Amino acid sequence: MRSSAGRKICQVRFKMENSNLQDKNILLGITGSIAAYKSAEVIRLLRKRKAKVYPIMTRAATNFVHPVTFQSLASQEVVLDSFSKNKEIKHISLSSLADLFLIAPATANVIGKIACGIADDILTTTVLACQSPVLIAPAMNHRMWINPILQQNVKKLKSLGFKFVGPMKGKLASGEVGEGRMSEPSQIVDYVEKIFSFEKDFRGKTFLITAGPTRERLDRVRFLSNYSTGKMGYALAEEGKLRGAKIILISGPTFLNVPSGVEFYRVESAEQMKSCVIEKFPEVDGVIMAAAVADFTPLKKERGKIKKDKGEKIFLELKRTPDILAKLGRIKQDKILVGFCAETKDLEKEAKKKLKLKNLDLIVANNISSPGAGFAVDTNVVSLIDKKGEVKSFPKLTKREVAEKIWDKIKEMENQP
């Protein structure tokens, strides 16, 4: 009978042989924190899983650990400046090389600089040029961690897709106990492994995502619309792309930048969105309808401009727009269909009704009257309800974090028999 110690060794060996980190290029940013000594163990563990590690140190970090330590462990030159002897622009060459940028430890100072787009050293310029995922492991005194300015910076970075691991609660360098201690190296490396495993989640799958509002033309200068900014749909597109899916993004009018690497279509009216969605539907494995499609459109659209001299009152006659989600529910076959439900009361009741009526697999319900939820904000408060009636509610999260939860649930549903 094999001992528990023997089983543990076999499990570790299996994990090493099947690591998602093999031949991955990891940039490791090391900043001026006492926790910099833990970065040596981070390098050791990454290399043990066959990753290639390229250390980048701020000048402040060299006050805690000598660069030779990291150079010896990584078998790579530690980068301290933007220019090498051969005048190579290091932040460009490193950012092009990176599969992931890990900053461990990350001080309050560097988190603030990244959040504000400040690039005044090799580490921050490389982050700004980097197209790969960025994972941040904060390390600081607990008073700094709970500071509202620091928390605002963290919230901003999370909304932009930056990942965070930790910090933990524990004994700090000051001798105090509180939240701010850097996560242990093994936890950080496991999280890195998890990020690369995401790439396989939806590899070979195509998802269509709708985003933003629609505009229903009233005359040549006016339209009916809603408060949607498209942030939720765009966050879903970015997260889905990160997790290996091919993304088709169909968006109403927004001021957001189009996520890189997606197939993108711009529409304006509900009718245009319907036509584009139906055209692309045969190509996809699933649809996430995050757009706030107008329910009504003017029955008559003026060719010119409605003049004020028509009187004190103008009567506007409206008709229903096409119900895109209901149409997809009737023809979906084995495709995954996810809808959204925004209500001000009876949220769960209305969401379950919509889920059943439109033949959805999952509905994302949010009470738009809750603080920090709904339109034109970076956060949301949602519940996920599946077709089995299972309800999973979350506290207030950034819309990027909500996107992660939705994709997690889709993956869970795909794995169910």
Question: Could you give the angle at which helices 90-97 and 122-129 cross, rounded to 10 degrees?
Answer: 50
DSSP state of 183: P
Sequence-distant (6+) residues with CB within 8 A of 334 are none
Cβ atoms of 227 and 201 within 8 Å: the answer is no
Task: Tell me how far apart the alpha carbons of residues 90 and 88 are, in angstroms, rounded to a whole number.
Answer: 6
Cβ atoms of 141 and 178 within 8 Å: the answer is yes
Question: Can you list the alpha helix ranges (DSSP code H) found in 137-251?
Answer: 142-145, 148-159, 185-198, 231-242
325 phi, psi to nearest 5 deg: -65, -45
379 phi, psi to nearest 5 deg: -120, 170
18 is catalytic: no
Cβ atoms of 72 and 55 within 8 Å: the answer is no
Q: Of these residues, 18, 226, 366, 367, which one is catalytic?
A: 226
The separation between the first and the last C-alpha atoms of the chain, rounded to the nearest angstrom, is 34
Q: 301: number of CA atoms within 13 Å, CB side?
A: 15
Task: Tell me how far apart the alpha carbons of residues 36 and 114 are, in angstroms, rounded to a whole number.
Answer: 19
From the list 332, 226, 240, the residue with the least C-alpha distance to 277 is 332
Structure-token match 């009704």, residue found:
353
- Residue 278 CA, chain-centre distance (Å), reads 27
SS3 39: helix
311 phi, psi to nearest 5 deg: 130, 175
Output the DSSP codes for 362-385.
Answer: EEEEEETTSTT-STTSSEE-EEEE
Q: Which two tokens stand for residue 415?
A: 């794995």
**Single-letter amino acid, residue 287:** V
Cβ atoms of 79 and 125 within 8 Å: the answer is no
For residue 277, CA distances in Å to 1, 53, 161, 273, 283 come to 58, 43, 26, 6, 10
Enumerate the active-site residues. Answer: 226
